[in-house]
């Protein structure tokens, strides 16, 4: 029985080559492919396939002849990208030219993940695919340039997502339950950036739905619904949900950073509001995208 309401059970057979298979998203793609009828996944970790090596990419695609490539390999460290610009652009842009060439030689569709950080955060309502991009940090600029390489390919799909978390993620959202249970002092959390948390299995279901419906090009936003939240609001909701399940659990209180709080030096600027609307992909694929609170039940 599937835990998610919009899951498709009747897949036709599709072969997908996955890069970055040991990352946060890649791990969930691997796990869900095992339980998904009709998906034949060729998972490639960095050791198995270095996406910076265009010859290796060509050889892997010629060998496996996938219908789709899901590229989950990327330079994802937002703060480090400010000082390692060349590395960020090499992985998030340059290598995509080789990936597109490799896909082209076997006619594979390339699904590439991108980010809400392509936006500057000046809007106050959810960003759609029609909105103009204007990144304010190096990571966002590199991801936007990468999008352009993929979208120029006739069989290229961009899926922008944000704040992806699961039990396997190594980020703040995924760490909140553990921090609440172990911290002796209050958990102080940032409360100004509004973003859409995205539970990784919900994202992966949407990626598999693109494959199953044989979508071959386009730009899409996928995040959970609910209008987004701050990290502080997310942490409060996690705390409430733990207490609903375990009344009496001993948890650290959650408090927002005050207005005097400053980001540590070296922190990249981030958009203040980067909630995205998943309406386009939901309508096109017939998905009912869950509220961001729904993923929390799976990580507490």
Q: How many residues bind ligand NAP (CB under 6 A)?
A: 23
| Minimum gap (Å) between residue 165 Cβ and ligand NAP | 7
Q: Does 153 bind ligand NAP (CB under 6 A)?
A: no
- CA 129, distance to chain mean position in Å, is 16
Give the span between the Cα atoms of 91 and 162, in whole angstroms: 19
| Site membership for ligand NAP, residue 46 (CB under 6 A) | yes
Cβ-closest residue to ligand NAP? 23
Geometric angle at alpha carbon 96, from 27 and 14, rounded to 5°: 50
Contacts 24+ apart (CB under 8 A), 255-264: 255/186, 255/187, 255/188, 255/189, 256/188, 256/189, 256/190, 256/191, 256/230, 256/232, 257/188, 257/189, 257/190, 257/191, 257/232, 261/190
Contact string (CB under 6 A) for ligand NAP, positions 65-84, x = contact: -------xxx-x--------
Q: Are 162 and 276 in contact (CB under 8 A)?
A: yes
Binder of ligand NAP out of 113, 238, 242, 285 (CB under 6 A): 113
Q: Is 164 in the site for ligand NAP (CB under 6 A)?
A: yes
> Among the options 68, 117, 127, 139, which is catalytic?
139
User: Are residues 199 and 166 in contact, defined by beta-carbon separation less than 8 angstroms?
Assistant: yes
* Alpha-carbon torsion, ordered 64, 13, 109, 281, to 10 deg: -150
* Closest distance of CB 53 from ligand NAP, Å: 8
Q: Which of 68, 89, 119, 163 binds ligand NAP (CB under 6 A)?
A: 163
Nearer to ligand NAP, 50 or 279 (CB): 50
Residue from the set 36, 137, 161, 212 that interacts with ligand NAP by CB under 6 A: 161
Q: Which residues contact 247 (CB under 8 A, 6 or more apart)?
A: none
Contact range with ligand NAP by CB under 6 A, out of 45-53, 125-133, 204-212, 281-289 = 45-53
139 catalytically annotated: yes
State yes or no: residue 134 binds ligand NAP (CB under 6 A): no
In sequence order, what are the residues at sequence separation of 6 or more whose Cβ sits closer than 8 angstroms to the Cβ of residue 268? 78, 79, 81, 82, 137, 138, 139
**Closer Cβ to ligand NAP, 52 or 175, answer by number:** 52
Residue 187: both structure tokens together: 């958990």
| Region binding ligand NAP by CB under 6 A among candidate stretches 79-87, 157-165, 174-182, 213-221 | 157-165
Q: How far is the CB of 186 from ligand NAP (least distance, A)?
A: 25
Least distance from C-beta 101 to ligand NAP, angstroms?
16
Straight-line distance from the first to the last Cα atom of the chain, in angstroms, rounded to the nearest whole number: 21
Which structure tokens are listed for 206? Answer: 């949407």
Q: Is 142 in the site for ligand NAP (CB under 6 A)?
A: no
Q: What is the CA radius of gyration of the chain?
A: 19
The catalytic residues are 139
Residues forming contacts to ligand NAP in the complex (CB under 6 A) are 19-20, 22-26, 46, 50-52, 72-74, 76, 91, 113, 115, 143, 161-164
């Amino acid at each position: 029985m599937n835990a998610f309401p919009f899951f498709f059970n009747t897949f036709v057979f599709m072969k997908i080559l996955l890069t970055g298979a040991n990352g946060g998203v890649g791990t969930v793609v691997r796990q869900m492919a095992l339980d998904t009828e009709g998906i034949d996944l060729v998972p490639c970790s960095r050791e198995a396939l270095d996406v910076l090596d265009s010859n290796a990419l060509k050889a892997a695609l010629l060998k496996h002849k996938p219908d789709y490539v899901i590229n989950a390999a990327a330079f994802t460290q937002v703060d480090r990208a400010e000082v390692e610009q060349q590395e960020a652009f090499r992985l998030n842009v340059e290598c995509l030219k080789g990936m597109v060439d490799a896909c082209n030689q076997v006619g594979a569709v390339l699904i590439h993940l991108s980010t809400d950080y392509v936006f500057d955060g000046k809007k106050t309502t959810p960003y759609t695919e029609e909105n103009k991009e204007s990144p304010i940090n190096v990571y966002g600029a590199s991801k936007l340039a990468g999008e352009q390489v993929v979208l120029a390919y006739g069989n290229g799909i961009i899926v922008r997502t944000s704040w992806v978390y699961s039990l396997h993620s190594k980020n703040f959202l995924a760490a909140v339950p553990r921090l609440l249970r172990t911290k002796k002092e209050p958990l102080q959390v940032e409360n100004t950036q509004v973003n859409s948390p995205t539970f990784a299995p919900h994202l992966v279901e949407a990626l598999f739905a693109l494959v199953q419906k044989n979508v071959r090009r386009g730009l899409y936003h996928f995040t959970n619904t609910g209008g987004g939240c701050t990290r502080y609001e997310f942490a409060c909701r996690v705390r409430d949900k733990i207490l609903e399940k375990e009344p009496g659990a001993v948890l650290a209180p959650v408090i927002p950073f005050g207005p005097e709080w400053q980001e540590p030096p070296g922190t990249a600027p981030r958009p203040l509001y980067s909630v995205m609307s998943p309406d386009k992909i939901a309508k096109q694929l017939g998905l009912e995208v869950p509220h961001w609170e729904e993923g929390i039940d799976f990580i507490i």
